[in-house]
Amino acid sequence: MNKKLRKAVIAGNWKMNKTRQEAAALINEIKPLVAGAGCEVVVCVPFTHLETALAATAGSNVKVGAQNCHWAASGAFTGEISAGMLADLGVGYVIVGHSERRQYFGETNLTVNGRVRAGLDAGLTVILCVGELLEEREQNITEEVCSLQTKIALAGVSKAELQNIIIAYEPVWAIGTGKTATAAQAGEVCGFIRGVVAGLYDQAAADGLTIQYGGSMNAANAAELLAMPDVDGGLIGGASLKAPDFAAIIKAAND
């Protein structure tokens, strides 16, 4: 398996943080630090900041993503945002199935699948999040959980469409806790997920799929995590809110 077959993608997940003004300022700070990066750089900002982020990133190598989208194209879904609306703005990426959505907003594997489908149909690149809870790791069912989440989320996704999918392996116990998975743990599960994808499609499709690790990745631990053969990038929460830290992770991906 050749890591060079895949594009490295470092994506910031800003979650529910920053005013619009702060968002523009952070992007303006990030841009010169990551200009010429060898990996893809994405910032996933709150819906209300998408236009600000698109304007601030115009002409740069920083891409803009959203943090969720609805499964329907339109309709009576008060408070929701469709993938088509995101594409209409010029947004290129969307995070789907983040564990905070699963934990706090009743997201299920089936609704995640619907949102993946909607993102692809709108022409977005979907960052699909999977990962086990601490109890699940302790019960030795990490692989079962990640396999189930991956298989259901990708139901109905063709091999060609897989090119617009990035999988982010995010062990829930590592998110926002400062408790990073070891490089070995991250590499092992990312490799396992690649095997699941190979089983669903074929080895070539799996070899071309970008799989990120996420969960307390930071400037200090990024290089070790990104050096693992099956870890092709990162989905970064806390550390993506500080330009020097985010840039250091991107530098680690380039190296």
How many CB atoms sit inside 10 A of residue 24's CB? 17
Q: Verify binding: residue 237, ligand PGA, rule CB under 6 A.
A: yes
Position closest to ligand PGA via CB:
237
Q: Which residues from 168-197 bind ligand PGA, rule CB under 6 A?
A: 170, 175-176
Kindly indicate which of the ranges 132-140, 146-154, 209-217, 225-233 contains the residues binding ligand PGA, using the contact rule CB under 6 A.
209-217
* Rounded Cα gap, residues 142 and 190, in angstroms: 11
* Partners of 165 in beta bridges: 126
Active site residue 49: no
Cα dist from 186 to 18, 65, 89, 191, 239, whole Å: 29, 24, 34, 8, 18
Q: In the structure encoding, which two tokens stand for residue 119, read together?
A: 């993102």
* Catalytic residue from among 40, 98, 100, 132: 98
Nearest CB to ligand PGA, comparing residues 157 and 181: 181
| E runs forming strands in 25-159 | 40-44, 62-66, 93-96, 125-130
Q: Verify binding: residue 235, ligand PGA, rule CB under 6 A.
A: yes
* Rounded Cα gap, residues 227 and 87, in angstroms: 33
SS3 129: strand
Q: Verify binding: residue 118, ligand PGA, rule CB under 6 A.
A: no
Angle at 107 between CA 104 and CA 109, to 5 degrees: 140
Nearest CB to ligand PGA, comparing residues 13 and 150: 13
Q: Verify binding: residue 238, ligand PGA, rule CB under 6 A.
A: yes
Q: Which residue in 216, 233, 245, 251 binds ligand PGA (CB under 6 A)?
A: 216
How many CB atoms sit inside 10 A of residue 79's CB? 5
Nearest CB to ligand PGA, comparing residues 113 and 218: 218
Nearest CB to ligand PGA, comparing residues 97 and 238: 238
Active site residue 70: no
Q: Verify binding: residue 236, ligand PGA, rule CB under 6 A.
A: yes
Min. distance of Cβ 182 from ligand PGA in angstroms? 15
Residues known to be catalytic? 98, 170
Question: Can you give the binding site for ligand PGA, defined by CB under 6 A?
Answer: 13, 170, 175-176, 214-217, 235-239
